[in-house]
Structure 1
Amino acid sequence: MELKGIHHVSALTANAKANYSFYTGVLGMRLVKKTVNQDDTSVYHLFYADVVGNPGTDLTFFEIPRAGRTYPGVSSISTTSLRVKNDEALQYWKQRLTEHQVEHEDIVTENNRNIISLRDPEGQRLKLVSDETNKGVEAGTPWKKGPVPVEYAIVGLGPSQLTVNDPAPTVKVLTEVLSFKEVDRYPSQIQGQPDVIVFSTGEGGTGAEVHLETRTDLPRERPGRGSVHHVAFRVDNEDELKYWKDRLQGARLPNSGLVERYYFKSLYFREPNGILFELATDGPGFTTDEDPEHLGESLALPPYFEQDREQIEAKLEPLDTKRD
């Protein structure tokens, strides 16, 4: 049994309004769910994705209003990739990022793919990766009503980069416990550091990769606004999730057990370097409680929070996500 690829990535923001403005207005992603952090209902949890939030397209943010800055380091998910259709799309993005005064680098080739590295206004480390030569997990479907033409739009999540001091324990979990296989290596951008190792699962390709970077020159990351909280990998259904729970227990990896998130079911655990992994089911998805035409326009609450809606809304700063 194999994991199917990246399910979602969850990061931290200190400002939901500014975050919404950037990821919808500049990056052109669709807000498919405006809800709350189910472990702390006093703050927002925002989901940006393709047209309906298909698995493998969701970049999500927990709002922590007083979050401090991030001090980058090891034991971290250090970069999140976003897929675009081809190299032509990267040319479009190079111009768009310049026009919107977004901090970014030039187009370069990394692991035989063209990419652009950029940062959001809070320093979130992102890459746009071209699917020009990609084969593997299918991309998502762009939202036609966004500000970015569909032929250039973001179509899903690409590889997640993990940065560690000692790769061996992480490699062991990826390959011996989870279903990843080493498929490639490429030179580190930091002189004197080992090659970055590429791991792939399921059908492979940009939507199913983890890139493991070794850094012996950095302290442990101190997360804050602009850091990544966890990466989630795709599981087909609840029965398979139970299989993975048993597998983790057999490997003596402490885990959360199955957790109900309403839009999917989850399982959480930390690998030995302290990075938080989630396994999440593909369904039931984000259209289970909202009309696909109006996803993300209202505060959506799972049924088990609905009786507390008035108190929950009273604690949240208003966030207008209504679209024309």
Structure 2
Amino acid sequence: MTLPSLPLPLGGLHHVSVLTADAARNHDFYTRVMGLRLVKKTVNQDSPGMYHLFYADGAGTPGTDLTFFDFPRAAREHRGNDSVTRTTYRVTGAAALEFWTDRFDALGVPHGEVYTRDGRAHLDFEDPDGTRLSLFDDGGEGPRGTPHGDLPAGVQLQGLGYSGYHVGDLAPTRAFLETGLGLREVRRYNLDGHPTTVFALGGGGPHAELHVTEAPGLSHSRPGAGSVHHVALRVQDDRELRHWLLHLAATGYGNSGEVDRHWFHSVYIRDPNGLVIELATDGPGFATDEDLSALGERLSLPPFLESRRATIEAHLRPLHLQEGE
């Protein structure tokens, strides 16, 4: 069988979605501690009784946002294979990592020492739910985030970096990434005694990689607070998204079909190891239903849920959120 030509290459990470057990505590950490902006306060469209919070740079730029589904009082994840085990953000320069080390010390954020992984200086830390995070020095490569808040512009988070996975068997994930998504292996390194393969999206770079570690001895992960639900990859527009649908069908990878999330349009795929990947368009964007200056200030609902606003708001727990420091 001759496969159709690949669509335009994926443009890097779009967003990463995680589970939190406490939305108010989560909001305090990501706005006050990390200096991100709450750009959308909404609900889980598939289960509107829970919040879905989006944090990003000052403009809500694709590739800068980390999102959280609120599962009150959820137990923490059981860490293991076939899961996302590292979510990273890019900063630039040794001074930025020094700033964040001092800031984490002052604010009581659990963290490690700055050390070199895959040729770049990293600072590993955890949020209050135990989500495994890293800041790393991108050397000035990749897109620059729009500054927000009171932190010095030179130390602010520039956007998402790579996502790190652990799998028990690399082969099926490799086949999916290379054949299904058109990624390519660009290098390998060792992580805690396990081989890690780096796959590049499009032109690659620190904002456009997936790092897959093969660790057959680990137990299987179980989701909970702090676990990543899915990683979304950037697609230029609706036309390209539909081209990806044709390609996925031709390569035999089942998917959700096109899903209208109002602020972007998506396709969800589960790789053979169970990892959930989303393809998401850059537009229409978070300012499609709110003024850019007022993003995240009110509960925003997609049109298909608007008629249920009164019921949804009545069942949501009040969130007393204060932006920034």
Q: How far apart, in 1, do the equivalents of 2:302 and 2:313 lie?
A: 14
> Aligned residue for 1:60?
67
Q: How does 1:31-110 map to 2 (within 5 A)?
A: 31-110=38-117
> Aligned residue for 1:231?
231
Helix, strand or coil at the partner of 1:206 = coil
Helix, strand or coil at the partner of 1:242 = helix
Give 1:203 deviation, angstroms: 2.7
> Aligned residue for 1:312?
312
Structure 1 runs (4+) greater than 4 angstroms displaced? none
> Aligned residue for 2:151?
148
CA RMSD for the aligned pairs?
Answer: 1.3
Helix, strand or coil at the partner of 2:173 = helix
Write the letter of the residue equivalent to 2:107: H
Give 1:105 deviation, angstroms: 0.3
Write the letter of the residue equivalent to 1:119: E
Write the letter of the residue equivalent to 1:181: R
Gaps of 5+ in 2: 1-7
Give 1:322 deviation, angstroms: 5.5
Write the letter of the residue equivalent to 1:321: L
Contact 1:196-1:214 at 8 Å conserved across structures: yes
Q: How does 1:122-271 map to 2 (within 5 A)?
A: 122-132=129-139, 134-135=140-141, 137-143=142-148, 146-189=149-192, 191=193, 193=194, 195-271=195-271
Gaps of 5+ in 1: none
Give 1:323 deviation, angstroms: 4.8
Task: Write out per-residue CA displacement over residues 177-216 of structure 1, whole angstroms, 9 at most, x where no aligned residue.
Answer: 2121111111122x3x3x2111111231111000001112
Q: Percent identity?
A: 48
Write the letter of the residue equivalent to 2:95: E
Q: How far apart, in 1, do the equivalents of 2:240 and 2:117 lie?
A: 34
Q: How far apart, in 1, do the equivalents of 2:266 and 2:73 lie?
A: 27
Write the letter of the residue equivalent to 2:259: V
Contact 1:297-1:321 at 8 Å conserved across structures: no
Aligned residue among 14, 24, 27 for 1:17: 24
User: Does structure 1 residue 293 correspond to structure 2 residue 272?
Assistant: no
> Aligned residue for 1:118?
125
Give 1:142 deviation, angstroms: 2.0
Give 1:147 deviation, angstroms: 3.9
Q: How far apart, in 2, do the equivalents of 1:323 and 1:209 lie?
A: 31
Task: Write out per-residue CA displacement over residues 125-183 of structure 1, whole angstroms, 9 at most, x where no aligned residue.
Answer: 00001112x53x4132121xx24222111111000001100001111111122121111
TM-score scaled to structure 2, two decimals? 0.95
Contact 1:9-1:60 at 8 Å conserved across structures: yes
Contact 2:38-2:53 at 8 Å conserved across structures: yes
TM-score scaled to structure 1, two decimals? 0.95
Task: Write out per-residue CA displacement over residues 195-254 of structure 1, whole angstroms, 9 at most, x where no aligned residue.
Answer: 211111123111100000111221110110000000000000111111111111112111
Aligned residue pairs, count: 317
Contact 1:297-1:323 at 8 Å conserved across structures: no
Helix, strand or coil at the partner of 2:198 = strand
